[in-house]
Structure 1
Amino acid sequence: MTFTLSAWVTYTMWAIFALMIIDFVIAFSKGFWKGSFDTTFLPYLKDILFYVLPLNFLLSMVSIDPTTYTLVVLYFIGGASVVYKYIRDIIGRFKAPE
């Protein structure tokens, strides 16, 4: 485990995909134990398109950024917000329905 900037970029993407998988497994297992097949896992394709693809686009634009850190900072802010979103979604799945 290293602490270079490129390593932290990789760790951020790993965290996003790991939390996405955990959220999917929780949603799928709850639907499985309920006895109904619900298509609640289909929004994950949309999440990849709306959250992961723009982060990869920001990384591909770093080479033309004159400061080279502006887009990297935006990447980490976006990555932290996606991680926060999935943590909130995971916690929300364990709350009792009202």
Structure 2
Amino acid sequence: MGFTLSDWMLYTMWAIYGLMILNFLIAFFQSFWAGKFDPAFVLEYLKDIVYIVLPLNLLISMFSIDPTGWILITFYFISGIAVVLKYLLDIKNKLIK
């Protein structure tokens, strides 16, 4: 476990994927035990990958063209924290119901 910038970028992506999977499993088990299983909710997570994870990867791939070297990385971490908070609040709301 390192503390370099690339390590923190990797940890951010792990946190996003981990919370996404946890959110998916909670939604899956809640709908399964309620008896109203609808496979269409899986599409919401595919949309999240396209609308959330892909832009974060695009930001990192554009790092080489950033003249300052810190603008895209700062935006990446702000966006990553926002996504983590989004999933934490979604999980909290699902567990409270």
> TM range, normalised to the smaller chain?
over 0.9
Q: In 2, distance between residues paired with 1:5 and 1:81?
A: 18
User: What is the identity percentage for the equivalent residue pairs of Structure 1 and Structure 2?
Assistant: 56
The Cα of 1:76 is off from its aligned counterpart by 0.2
Q: What SS class does the counterpart of residue 56 from structure 2 fall into?
A: helix
Q: Is the 1:13–1:79 contact (alpha carbons within 8 Å) kept by the matching residues of 2?
A: yes
Match of 1:19 in 2: 19
The Cα of 1:37 is off from its aligned counterpart by 1.5
The Cα of 1:45 is off from its aligned counterpart by 0.5
Q: Which one-letter code corresponds to 1:12 in the other structure?
A: T
What per-residue deviation string (whole Å, max 9, x for no partner) do you get for residues 23-51 of structure 1? 00000000111122123232000001111
Q: Which one-letter code corresponds to 2:24 in the other structure?
A: F
Q: In 2, distance between residues paired with 1:87 and 1:40?
A: 18
The Cα of 1:95 is off from its aligned counterpart by 1.8
* Structure ranking higher in helix proportion: 2
Pairing 1:84–2:85 present: yes
Q: In 2, distance between residues paired with 1:42 and 1:90?
A: 18
Pairing 1:29–2:29 present: yes
Q: Which one-letter code corresponds to 1:8 in the other structure?
A: W
Alignment of 1:44-59 (within 5 A): 44-59=45-60
Q: Which one-letter code corresponds to 1:23 in the other structure?
A: N
Pairing 1:63–2:64 present: yes
Provide the aligned C-alpha RMSD in A.
0.8
Q: In 1, distance between residues paired with 2:17 and 2:41?
A: 17
Number of residues of Structure 1 aligned to a counterpart in Structure 2 = 96
Q: In 1, distance between residues paired with 2:35 and 2:47?
A: 25
